[in-house]
Amino acid sequence: MPLNIAIDGPAGAGKSTLAKAAAKELGCIYVDTGALYRAVGLFALRRGADPGDAAAVLPLLPLIEISLQFAENGQRVFLNGEDVSEAIRTPEASDASSKVSSHPAVRSFLLDLQRDLAAKNNVVMDGRDIGTVILPNAQVKIFLTASPEERARRRWRELVEKDTTARFEDVLAAILERDARDSSRAAAPLKPAPDSILLDTTGLDFSQSLEGLLKIAGKAAK
C-alpha cells in the first residue's frame, strides 16, 4: 500500500513549501491540491464567471480538464493542455480558488483526481481537507499551523520582494478573512482530523519546521 501523508492547515502556514521539501526527503511525490482549485478559479475568471457564484461555476466544470506532471523542479499544472503553473499563482487566482473551493460540486469534481494519485503513488499531499475528506485513511496526518500574525508576516515578506507597496495590515486582514471563509464553509471546512498531529511553527524557521514535520512523519509512518 502506498505511503500517504496528509498535511492540512490554514493559509500562509507554509504547507506547500514544507510539504514539497518533506516529499523530497521521503522520496514521495508532492501533490499541491490548492493548485487544482486555483486552476478551476482561473478558468472561471477567464470565462468571466464569478468564482463565488456556484450557479455560474457549475456549468463550467465539464469544460475543465486538469492534469499534473511531476518533474525534478516540482509539480506542473495543466489546464486543458496549457501549463498554468505560473498563471495560477496571482493574487486574483488565489482569491478565486478560495471562492470556488466553497462549492460542493467543485470539491466533488476534484476528489477522484486527488484520490487516484494517492492510490498509485507514495504522496505528500497538502490542502485543507486532506486528512478529513480526501485521504481519511492516510497513514500520517499533520495539521500545520502558526499564529495569524506569523502567517501574515511570512506572506508579507514574500510580497514585498515583488511589490514594495504591500502593506502588512492588508495581508493580515486577508489572512483572517480567508481563515473565516475556510473554517465556516459548508463543504469540507478547514479543521484538524481527529487523529492528526498538530505542528505549530510559530517562532520556528524553515529548517526547524521541516525537522518537526519529518519527525512526526517518521514516527507515524512506522
> How much is the pTM?
0.81
The string of pLDDT tens digits covering residues 59-95 is 999 999 998 888 777 789 999 999 999 999 988 998 9
Which pLDDT value is given to residue 91? 86
Q: What is the DSSP letter of 165?
A: T
Where residue 186 falls among pLDDT bands split at 50, 70, 90?
confident
**Percent share of the chain, pLDDT over 70:** 98
**Average pLDDT in the 112-138 region?**
92
Distance CA 100, CA 45 (A): 11
Distance CA 76, CA 36 (A): 11
Q: Do domains 1-28+122-217 and 32-121 have the same CATH topology?
A: yes
Where residue 220 falls among pLDDT bands split at 50, 70, 90?
low
Domain limits, the chain: 1-28+122-217, 32-121
Mean pLDDT of the chain: 91
Is the model's pLDDT at 153 over the cut of 90?
A: yes
Distance CA 36, CA 82 (A): 13
Is the model's pLDDT at 222 over the cut of 60?
A: no
Where residue 190 falls among pLDDT bands split at 50, 70, 90?
confident
Please count the other Cβ atoms lying within 10 Å of the Cβ belonging to residue 177.
13
**Average pLDDT in the 172-188 region?**
88
In this structure, the dihedral spanned by the alpha carbons of residues 130, 64, 159 and 70, taken in order and rounded to 10 degrees, is 60
32 by DSSP, 3-state: which?
strand
Is the model's pLDDT at 213 over the cut of 70?
A: yes
Please count the other Cβ atoms lying within 10 Å of the Cβ belonging to residue 94.
18
What is the fold, at CATH topology level, of the domain defined by 32-121?
Answer: Rossmann fold (3.40.50)
Where residue 215 falls among pLDDT bands split at 50, 70, 90?
very high
What one-character-per-residue DSSP string does 84-121 give? -TTGGGSHHHHHHHHHHTT-HHHHHHHHHHHHHHHHHS
Closest CA to 45 of 107, 87, 3: 87
Strands laid side by side in the 197-200 sheet: 29-32, 123-127, 4-8, 140-145, 197-200
Q: Identify the CATH number of the domain defined by range 1-28+122-217.
A: 3.40.50.300
Where residue 1 falls among pLDDT bands split at 50, 70, 90?
confident
192 by DSSP, 3-state: which?
coil
Cell matching residue 155: 506572506
Residue type, 37: Y
Distance CA 92, CA 201 (A): 27
